[in-house]
Amino acid sequence: MKKLLFIFTLSCSLVYSQDYKVEKDRIIDLFENLKKFGVNENQGNDRVAYSDFEIQARDYISKKLEKIGAKVYTDFAGNLIANYNPNNSNLKPILFGSHVDAVPNGGHYDGTAGVIHAIEVLQTVHSENISLNHPLEVIVFSNEEGGLFGSKALAGKINQQTLDVVTVSGYTNGEGVERLGGNVNRIFEVKRNMGDIHAFIEMHIEQGNNLYSSNTDIGIVEGIVGLKWWDVTVEGFTNHAGTTPMDQRQDAMIAASKFVLMVNETVNSYEGSQVGTVGRISAEPGVPNVIPGIVNLSLELRDLSSKKISMIYNKIIENSKIIEQETKTKFSFSPIDATGDPALMDRRIINVLSEVSDDLGYSSMLMPSGAGHDAQSMALIAPTAMIFAPSKDGISHSPKEYTDFEMLEKTNNVMLNTILKIDKIKLD
């Protein structure tokens, strides 16, 4: 049986010998080195955007990439870019990368895994002397965790207000960009347009439990979900909690409670992977002996389709009218400006990712991304795709974030061979 398996493995490796492979030892080496910049006593990662830790990590990456012959620079928005173009091609570049900033006490994989993948792709192309048509560009985006800052700058989606936002490190985006070596006075010049980039690919850990729980190697992202937020106010009647009989109350809290459950049921009543959440609630006056007259809640809906978000929202409004009647209260909804439109990934690259995963003998799954990523901004200006590696138990933004190196080796092989394939195809 063992012998049979050996022959089978051998024949597979012969069949797939045209595929290049990354080197796991180099992945481990990059991981261990990058971890040093920001590791804290909980074994978490404090490499927040614009911190000294981030600057040190980027210096380390720059040196590594310069060594293999890339031209490394920081653009005006603080994105670190390594251009690798040994053949002096004047075709549009293929970009790939992610971010190295973390949330406070975050993990060592979110963002960083994608940067490691990007560096390893370049290391493999260089060491295997692979000849490509397009220039390759590794990109390390600035301040991803604080709202996709660097990639939004590339997509032309930042303004003066964005520059004044104070980030977790205490620096504003404007100050932070200068710390990274950018130039805030020329920041709007970094904008790239549709047609400037051949393709963009980002690898990321899933940060959810779909891949890990189903034992799947590769997540191929169909799109990054859009998100809409609303403030919801329930108006009842403030009254004495001791003297008002139960059948004469206009209790906003009762209406709000029904609303929370109704949102959950409504979202669940549709087929698909949409999600809906009430994450915030407060009652006025908010004391034990007064029937709440006002309750404020939030409502969040996410899906790959804006149309579906609107459809579910309309159903929630309709169902709220029933609660209004039952509880003699009044609901009002006002949109919060935190809206993100869904970003669909490029079908052609999705197909290549899926072919390459099959060729390499890895299991893969098409899935939406519930979390926001730089690929979301990049999809506005380039054919864009994303792949996910499994996150152990779906944990992320935590020191417990974990993906084993065997898994990262697989996603890295898929990313490498996908880049080699899309180098040969027309995408515009």
DSSP 3-69: HHHHHHHHHHHHHTTTS----HHHHHHHHHHHHTTTB-TTS-B---TTSHHHHHHHHHHHHHHHHTT
Query: Judging by beta carbons within 10 Å of its beta carbon (0-12, 13-18, 19+), is residue 298 exposed, middle or buried?
Result: middle
Q: How far is the CB of 102 from Zn ion (least distance, A)?
A: 8
Count other Cβ atoms within 10 Å, centred on residue 244. 15
Sign for the pseudo-dihedral over CA of 187, 190, 194, 197:
negative
Residue 153 to residue 162: CA distance in whole angstroms:
10
The residue among 84 and 109 lying less far from Zn ion, judged by its C-beta, is 109
Q: How far is the CB of 56 from Zn ion (least distance, A)?
A: 19
Nearer to Zn ion, 112 or 320 (CB): 112
Instruction: Tell me the closest approach of the beta carbon of residue 110 to Zn ion, in angstroms.
Output: 4
What are the residues whose beta carbons fall under 8 Å from the beta carbon of 45, sequence distance 6 or more? Answer: 35, 38, 39, 102, 105, 106, 107, 108, 112, 399
Tell me whether residue 412 or residue 417 sits nearer to Zn ion (CB atom).
412
**What torsion, rounded to 10 degrees, do the Cα atoms 191, 101, 368, 345 define?**
30
Minimum CB–partner distance for residue 312 and Zn ion (Å): 27
Closest CB to Zn ion among residues 239, 398: 398
Q: What b/e string do you get for 145-178 counting C-beta neighbours within 10 Å, with b at 16 or more?
A: bbbbbbbbbbbebbeeebbeeebbbebbbbbbbb
Residue 299, beta-bridge partner list: 230
Q: 51-77 as b/e, with b when 16 or more CB fall inside 10 Å?
A: bebbeebbebbbebbeebebebebbbb
Q: Which is nearer to Zn ion, 116 or 291 (CB)?
A: 116
Is the CB of 111 or the CB of 150 nearer to Zn ion? 111
Q: Are 306 and 342 in contact (CB under 8 A)?
A: yes
Smaller CB separation from Zn ion, 111 or 176? 111
Residue whose beta carbon is closest to Zn ion: 111
Q: How far apart are CA 354 and CA 421, in angstroms?
A: 12
Buried b (16+ CB within 10 A) or exposed e, 275-291: ebebeebebbeeeeebb
347 CB contacts (<8 Å, ≥6 apart)?
none
Nearer to Zn ion, 207 or 266 (CB): 207
Our CB check for Zn ion shows the closer of 101 and 251 to be 101
Q: Return the number of the residue (107 or 292) whose C-beta is nearest Zn ion.
A: 107
To the nearest whole angstrom, how small is the minimum distance from the Cβ of residue 170 to Zn ion? 21
Smallest distance from Zn ion to CB 266, Å: 30
Nearer to Zn ion, 115 or 295 (CB): 115
Q: To the nearest whole angstrom, how small is the minimum distance from the Cβ of residue 101 to Zn ion?
A: 9
Q: How far is the CB of 206 from Zn ion (least distance, A)?
A: 11
- Of 359, 351, 406, 361, nearest to 383 by C-alpha is 351
CB of 301 to Zn ion, least distance (A): 22
Closest distance to Zn ion from the beta carbon of 57 (Å)? 14
Amino acid at 220: I
Length of the chain: 428
**Minimum distance between the CB of residue 185 and Zn ion, rounded to whole angstroms?**
28
Q: Please report, as ranges, the residues that interact with Zn ion according to CB under 5 A.
A: 110-111
